[in-house]
């Protein structure tokens, strides 16, 4: 999966990459002004990614230095009856931006989706992240303005999980 002509190598993460993955996650959280929400640890990532295999990670190296990551997993469209790839996070370290790394990673994920017979590659983007929004529109991504993401977590998740037992 590597492409050395422009000093960028894409590869699937290994267990040895867990410290780098956590560093990327913290960098992304800092960029998104959400650093206080990161509770992931190397141990949690090790278990989730390499034991439970809940998601996959691609690492981009620029001149042999880890420069970016993309974390993704399969979702499923009931309407299509087929899986898709959901890109949970993509992050390029600031010093490696404007080198085409993000484009290469998204393109690789699209190719992976096609190879895996998936009909969609999807992700979300913060409304204020104009540079990313411009980039996504340039590559042909369409914002799904009619859809709103809902989330249940923390105490609400626990309450909901046991709600029927208390009725």
The catalytic residues are 136
In whole angstroms, give the CA distance from residue 126 to residue 123: 10
Residue 154 Cα distances to 7, 84, 88, 159, 160, angstroms: 42, 27, 19, 9, 10
Residue 148 Cα distances to 89, 116, 132, 144, angstroms: 18, 27, 19, 9
Q: Do 19 and 9 meet the contact criterion of CB atoms below 8 Å apart?
A: no
Strand partners, 62: 8, 65
Q: Do 59 and 10 meet the contact criterion of CB atoms below 8 Å apart?
A: yes
């Amino acid at each position: 999966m590597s492409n050395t002509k422009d000093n960028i190598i894409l590869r699937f993460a290994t267990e040895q990459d867990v410290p780098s993955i956590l560093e990327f996650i913290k960098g992304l959280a800092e960029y998104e002004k959400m650093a206080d929400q990161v509770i992931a640890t190397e141990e949690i990532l090790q278990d989730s990614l390499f034991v439970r295999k809940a998601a996959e990670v691609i690492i981009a190296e620029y001149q042999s230095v880890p420069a970016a990551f993309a974390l993704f997993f399969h979702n499923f469209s009931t309407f299509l009856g087929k899986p898709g790839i959901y890109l949970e996070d993509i992050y390029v370290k600031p010093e490696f931006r404007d080198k085409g790394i993000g484009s290469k990673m998204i393109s690789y994920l699209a190719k992976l989706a096609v190879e895996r017979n998936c009909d969609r590659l999807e992700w979300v983007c913060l409304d204020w992240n104009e540079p990313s929004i411009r980039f996504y529109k340039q590559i042909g991504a369409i914002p799904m303005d009619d859809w709103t993401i809902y989330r249940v977590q923390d105490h609400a998740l626990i309450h909901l999980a046991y709600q029927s037992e208390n009725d």
